[in-house]
Copies of this chain bind each other. A is one copy, B any other.
Amino acid sequence: MAVLNDAARRLVESGALAHLVTLDDDGSAQVAIVWVGLDGDELVAAHLDGRQRKLRNIRNDPRVVVSFEANTSNDIGMRHYLVVHGRAHITEGGAPELLHRLAQTYVGPGTDFPPMPDPPPGFITHITPTRVGGAGPWTE
């Protein structure tokens, strides 16, 4: 059975911001908000700059967590949310194309992104989900 059910997949592709948690050298958590999409069963994020701390962290320890706010709530007004635990790896190239695709959802249809001529090929983070948490139709 897929780790992400249809409701989880819809949320990930809705333009909900991804709070990406990686682990620093000293074992503490580091959080960056990124745009993500789906590529088959993987979550994917794009980075033009390969020197970012989150990429260095993933190279050191592939365990990541990504959390997303839903726009629905439970009966007492507490917001639904999705937490995806997974293992990440990084590949080179393809960042401008993925950012362009994600910008159509995160910024709006017709967005020209990245907003620069000749962007670098960059890097893609691929996250294989291992389990989900949070509260909502993805844990029920």
Q: Which residues of A contact B (CB under 8 A)?
A: 17, 19, 21, 23, 27-33, 63-65, 67, 69, 76-77, 79, 81, 83, 85, 103, 106-108, 111, 113-115, 133-135
* Of B21, B83, B134, the contact of A65 (CB 8 Å cutoff): B21
A17 contacts B69, CB within 8 Å?
yes
Instruction: Specify which chain B residues have a CB less than 8 angstroms from the CB of A32 in the assembled complex.
Output: 83
Closest to A108 in B: B77
B111 contacts A77, CB within 8 Å?
yes
Indicate whether A63 sits within 8 Å of B33 (C-beta atoms), given known contacts A17-B69, A103-B77. Answer: no
- Give the docked Cα–Cα distance between A30 and B23 (Å): 11
Closest to A73 in B: B107
Indicate whether A77 sits within 8 Å of B31 (C-beta atoms), given known contacts A19-B67, A21-B65. Answer: no
Indicate whether A31 sits within 8 Å of B19 (C-beta atoms), given known contacts A76-B113, A106-B77, A111-B77. Answer: yes
B77 contacts A30, CB within 8 Å?
no
- Give the docked Cα–Cα distance between A32 and B103 (Å): 27
Instruction: Specify which chain B residues have a CB less than 8 angstroms from the CB of A106 in the assembled complex.
Output: 77
B27 contacts A65, CB within 8 Å?
no
- Give the docked Cα–Cα distance between A29 and B22 (Å): 8
